[in-house]
Structure 1
Amino acid sequence: MKYTLPNPSVQEQDLAGKFAIVTGASRGLGRGIAFHLASRGSNVLATCSSETSLKNVVSLQEEIRLLYQERNPQNHATPRIFGVVAPLTEPSKCCDNIVAAVKEHFSGAVNILVQNAALQETMPIEAIDEGHVRRMLTGNISTAVQLIQALLPHFVPDSRIVNISSEGARQSQPAPVTLLYGACKAALESMTRVWADALGTRAGMERTTVNSLIVGVTKTGDTANGLPEGLPDIEPVRQLIKFKMEACSVDRRLGEVDDVAEIVGWLCCEKSRWVSGSAVCANGGTVKIL
């Protein structure tokens, strides 16, 4: 079997018994994050956008089953993976479906939330209309706000919330790609700081941390045009990729899914207990945040 992450193994089970929600986990970065958390013992509720995408969650379940069957010398218990359809552009339906799944599969308790799912529509500046603006704000801001609100009764002490942001929130990118997307991610980072203050001492959620992860251009799948999944094949994007590779401080390459997933895993574990309200970079140094 070709696993989601390279050279996979059952890792230290520091997340064993935890219950994690990863949005947008049927493919790409979200799938890699879900796989990584499960390899450390966490049960995972993987959300996707449609019934069709649920088959990808089923294949993720099979990957984890085989991983723990074949590469598990300590004979650790296999974590459970569940899937649920949670469309970003329908906040009420999205939240209701996730909460129902939490009650059914997690006995109502949530330890980890990774808000990875995002809506990215590419549109020239002159073509942007009210509908496009509304969809972007709904999918990337309203749903994120309402999901945390809906999960407040289900979070437990020492919970971890990680909101996936983008370099587009901090640095100008090709306008058709990131005009509204970057603005939405900047808003998510701002809300992250407020959530960190509000939730870290909230009764029933004591010591909870909330952070955002600024992700650089990351290879999330094999595409026919040689570009990371989700980016259009236009010259400004190709120039962006070239610039990002040349600007990378660590290595002259694009990020891989496991580069990012391992940082998410650290933010979700006990060792990150003293980091909250921060914007952590996972970009090889292409954008420096002080």
Structure 2
Amino acid sequence: MNPFDLTGKVALVTGASRGLGKGFAIALAKAGADVVVTSRTRESLDETIAEVESLGRKAWPVVLDVREQSSIETCVAEAWEVSGGVDILVNNAGCNVRKPALEVTWEDWNLILETNLRGVFFVAQACARRMVERGYGRVINIGSVTCVNGYAGLAPYGASRGGTKQLTMSLADDWGPHGITVNCLAPGWFKTAQNKVMYEDEGWVDYLTDRIPLKRPGAPGDLDGALVFLASDASAYMTGQTLLIDGGISVGAVRAVPTK
């Protein structure tokens, strides 16, 4: 038997209309899962649905705003109704505001923490309540390299991702006795809709690449293997962990010896 096979499983991916979330939905479908995909608007999910269905898997669109408690409860109830039950949660929906710490506003802080941390917790809680009844679940919280590294201009974002790492450990301890694993998948520097403007600066890209031991930013597909691992029975004895897929940048951003 292939422990990475997700045939017969149902995954729920939040923030699945674009970027990493869309890639996660497609990767899970390739591994055999049917997928509930969410976004704040139904129309934005059309491309993701088409790609999942082209792989012969089912895709169900559900509207979700992770900043609204009622939206979370409605979404999770609908996800269970249309799919028959969710086995895997990929807690991906997130946002960012890049500013020097002295310029961060009250509103900036609330937007980021409510989306990236509060939303992650309450989506996981709503799913786990139903997973407990089945005695099985895989919760994958999406963090980032800022779970472990600090970067100027990303104070609220880093706080939210560091919180995600700590939350993952607490939930793993809480829900482990119920057959639910909780892990954090932490990407390094990937080009997404949130940060694409930064990748238009060749000097910045060179600066970043020099600090990545594998000498390149993340590319589409680099997260697929780790995601499927965490979603599958291959990781059945792994919980509370943060898995960094970052090209090695988290080993140390400053080079002690110049490289050629």
Q: Same fold (TM over 0.5)?
A: yes
Q: What CA distance in whole angstroms lies between the structure 2 residues aligned with 1:154 and 1:240? A: 45
Q: Say if 1:13 and 1:152 are closer, same or farther in 2 by CA, change over 3 A.
A: closer
Residue in structure 2 matched with residue 95 of structure 1 by the alignment: 72
Residue in structure 2 matched with residue 73 of structure 1 by the alignment: none
Mean Cα deviation higher: 240-249 or 273-282 = 240-249
Alignment pair present for 1:210 and 2:182: yes
Alignment pair present for 1:243 and 2:207: yes
Q: Say if 1:42 and 1:161 are closer, same or farther in 2 by CA, change over 3 A.
A: same
Q: What CA distance in whole angstroms lies between the structure 2 residues aligned with 1:19 and 1:79? A: 10
**What are the equivalent positions in structure 2 for 1:124-273 lying under 5 Å apart?**
124-155=100-131, 156-175=134-153, 178-202=154-178, 206=179, 208-220=180-192, 229-231=193-195, 233=197, 241-249=205-213, 251-273=214-236
Mean Cα deviation higher: 34-43 or 57-66 = 57-66
Cα root mean square deviation, aligned: 2.3
Shift of 1:239: 5.7
Q: What CA distance in whole angstroms lies between the structure 2 residues aligned with 1:248 and 1:234? A: 16
Q: What CA distance in whole angstroms lies between the structure 1 residues aligned with 2:78 and 2:151? A: 37
Q: What CA distance in whole angstroms lies between the structure 2 residues aligned with 1:253 and 1:234? A: 15
1:32-90 deviation digits (Å, cap 9, x = unpaired): 0100101111111111122442xxx22222223333xxxxxxxxxx3211111211322
1:189-228 deviation digits (Å, cap 9, x = unpaired): 00100111111103xxx2x2111111101134xxxxxxxx
Q: What CA distance in whole angstroms lies between the structure 2 residues aligned with 1:86 and 1:181? A: 21
Q: Give secondary structure in 2 for the equivalent of 1:173.
A: coil
Residue in structure 2 matched with residue 39 of structure 1 by the alignment: 30
Q: What CA distance in whole angstroms lies between the structure 1 residues aligned with 2:118 and 2:33? A: 27
2:212 counterpart letter in structure 1 = C
Give the TM-score normalised by structure 2: 0.87
Q: Give secondary structure in 1 for the equivalent of 2:32.
A: coil
Residue in structure 1 matched with residue 258 of structure 2 by the alignment: none
Q: What CA distance in whole angstroms lies between the structure 1 residues aligned with 2:52 and 2:43? A: 20
Identity of aligned residues (%): 27
Q: Give secondary structure in 1 for the equivalent of 2:138.
A: strand
Q: Give secondary structure in 2 for the equivalent of 1:255.
A: coil
Q: Give secondary structure in 2 for the equivalent of 1:123.
A: coil
Q: Give secondary structure in 2 for the equivalent of 1:89.
A: coil
Paired residues in the alignment total: 248
Following TM superposition, the consecutive aligned residue runs of length 4 or more in structure 1 with deviations greater than 4 angstroms are 237-240
Q: What CA distance in whole angstroms lies between the structure 1 residues aligned with 2:49 and 2:198? A: 36
Q: Say if 1:212 and 1:93 are closer, same or farther in 2 by CA, change over 3 A.
A: same
Q: Say if 1:286 and 1:100 are closer, same or farther in 2 by CA, change over 3 A.
A: same
1:104 counterpart letter in structure 2 = E
Q: What CA distance in whole angstroms lies between the structure 1 residues aligned with 2:198 and 2:221? A: 27
1:167-192 deviation digits (Å, cap 9, x = unpaired): 122222231xx110011000010010
Q: Give secondary structure in 1 for the equivalent of 2:47.
A: helix
Alignment pair present for 1:64 and 2:52: yes
Mean Cα deviation higher: 142-151 or 12-21 = 12-21
Q: What CA distance in whole angstroms lies between the structure 2 residues aligned with 1:280 and 1:120? A: 21
Q: Give secondary structure in 1 for the equivalent of 2:155.
A: helix
Q: Is the 8 A contact 1:48 1:86 kept in 2?
A: yes
Residue in structure 2 matched with residue 85 of structure 1 by the alignment: 63
The structure richer in helix per residue is 2
